Structure 1
Amino acid sequence: MSDPTPLKIALAGASGRMGRMLVEQVLQAPDLQLAGALVHAGSDSLGLDAGAFKGLRTGVPMSSDPDLALGAAQVLIDYSRVEASLALLQRAVARGLPIVIGTTGFSAEQRAQMQVAGQLIPVLWAPNTSVGVNVVMDLLRQAALRLGAEYDVEIVEAHHRHKVDAPSGTALQMGEVIAQARGQALAEVATLSREGHTGARERGRIGFATVRGGDIVGDHTVMFCGEGERIEIAHKSSSRLHYAQGALLAARWLARQPAGFYSMADALGLT
């Protein structure tokens, strides 16, 4: 028999594009309850009801006070910026609060901090929470294993003009999946940009190309280029809805887990 008590969710970055989509989805889910909405101190939404943008009254104010926003939460979902995410991670550790982090742009050292926190609390970091994207990751792993380094890999990603990091976290994760399947370290084989007289393409490299413009939600295409054929595996987003639904799936799953550092693949049973 399922537990009738709703899971209490706090959202960090609640006034952003993903934050608002998450507010909507939490309010529509009978098994979830919005417990807190955290925004930065200069936000225009500060003090407003978390549902005001939809003309709804939730009783949860947009707050810049982490103690207020996290006080009643059972799981925190964070879509903010790197520095804010790392600060919230430490607060989550202090509270014993499971945390789903959807923020991208972390360095290797910063990702290591998340892994250390995972020794104390359940931490799930997902550069992309879409179920579809994570199924694509599994397809990429299979393709890389079977095609090998004889096929050149190029990853092309496109996002809206407001995205601040490049390549996207999803593109880098795709590169890591492919590199690991080939027995490589992405940092040693990634070509993140090209300009001028670059010479012939070196065998085994994984190339990246970035597009920024308009309101593109997120497009990713991976090309395995061989002699006489090209295999493309692509995912294109037309809405942030599937990101939000995946994040809530992750939160529900993470709330039942012991301390550990997890991924969407873990939550989806793809590992």
Structure 2
Amino acid sequence: MTLRIGIAGISGRMGKLLAEEVAAAGAELAGGIGRLGDAAGLFAGSDVVIDFTNAAAAEAHATLAARHGKALILGSSGLSAAQEAAVERAARQVPVVYAANFAPGVNLLFALAERMAAALPPEQYDAEIVEMHHRQKVDAPSGTAIGLGRAVARGRSKTLEEVGMESGRDGHTGPRATGPIGFAALRGGQVVGEHTLLFAAGSEHIALTHRAFDRRVYATGAVRAAHWAVRQPPGLYDMKHVLGIG
């Protein structure tokens, strides 16, 4: 049976790429909505919905996924704690793949970041994350940068909230504290996405960098996640699960 995939945000740049990748993967485009549209109808007529809209729509779309018993692939960034809680509630009833980034390379970067953080003590190695995106991006740090920070924190057996974040340094800030993760966000031009994680010690620096040159890599990953999710029991997953590295 052909998989029916719906797209929330189909009129945007990512939405158009997603529609192309749905066809390339041999699935059926069940429908799509833009800023305004019948979201309930989209979920009712799809086996799985891919949502690359924005944080404001996440709670409503997660609720609809649970109500209609349909899998959800969520790629929106900048969700609040309340919005993430709504996604978690939906995942008790349906499979939800919620990822900061759907590029396979980025998710391998997350896995490496966690392993390296576990091996490099924070008392000796400061962790700094630098990201750059196109000038239209509205949230900072990016969801991928936050994902990297969470991976580093997990490697150090803490949450990002426990470790702490340092960003927007300006003026006479004093010496860097030991432990928190530093974030720097750059915006300009039409950069698709660049992320660098730096572990800096007195005697060495180690840098991991990922650069995306085409947004299609996110669309391809999201469609791959859609095919995977419909075969899973209810739960909250990410791309590491889809790739078999989580």
**Pairing partner for 1:9 from 5, 19, 23:** 5
Q: Structure 2 length normalisation: TM-score?
A: 0.96
**Aligned amino acid, residue 23 of structure 2:** L
From the superposition, tell whether residues 113 and 70 of structure 1 become closer, same or farther in structure 2 (CA, over 3 Å): closer
Q: Which has the higher contact order (CA 8 A, sep 6+)?
A: 2
- Alpha carbons 2:150, 2:159 under 8 Å: kept: yes
| Structure 2 unaligned regions, length at least 5 | none
Distance 2:91 2:40 in 1: 21
Distance 1:236 1:177 in 2: 18
Map 1:6-155; keep pairs closer than 5 Å. Answer: 6-30=2-26, 32-41=27-36, 64-149=37-122, 150-155=124-129
Distance 1:266 1:29 in 2: 20
3-state DSSP class of the match of 2:29? strand
RMSD over aligned Cα atoms: 1.1
**Aligned amino acid, residue 159 of structure 1:** H
- Alpha carbons 2:133, 2:190 under 8 Å: kept: yes
Residue of structure 2 equivalent to 1:60: none
- Kindly indicate whether residue 207 of structure 2 is the aligned counterpart of residue 232 of structure 1: yes
Residue of structure 2 equivalent to 1:175: 149
**Aligned amino acid, residue 242 of structure 1:** V
3-state DSSP class of the match of 1:216? coil
Alpha-carbon displacement from aligned partner over 1:106-165 (angstroms, at most 9, x marks no partner): 122321221111111111101101111001111111111111212011100000111111
- Alpha carbons 1:158, 1:219 under 8 Å: kept: yes
- Alpha carbons 2:63, 2:86 under 8 Å: kept: no
Alpha-carbon displacement from aligned partner over 1:8-66 (angstroms, at most 9, x marks no partner): 00000111111111011112222x1100111113xxxxxxxxxxxxxxxxxxxxxx112
How much does 1:67 deviate? Answer: 3.4
Distance 1:87 1:171 in 2: 25
Whose Rg is larger?
1
- Kindly indicate whether residue 204 of structure 2 is the aligned counterpart of residue 209 of structure 1: no
**Aligned amino acid, residue 263 of structure 1:** D
Alpha-carbon displacement from aligned partner over 1:63-98 (angstroms, at most 9, x marks no partner): x11233333210000000111121111111110111
Distance 2:126 2:40 in 1: 49
Q: Structure 1 length normalisation: TM-score?
A: 0.87
Residue of structure 1 equivalent to 2:198: 223
Residue of structure 1 equivalent to 2:242: 267
Distance 1:6 1:101 in 2: 21
- Alpha carbons 2:78, 2:143 under 8 Å: kept: yes
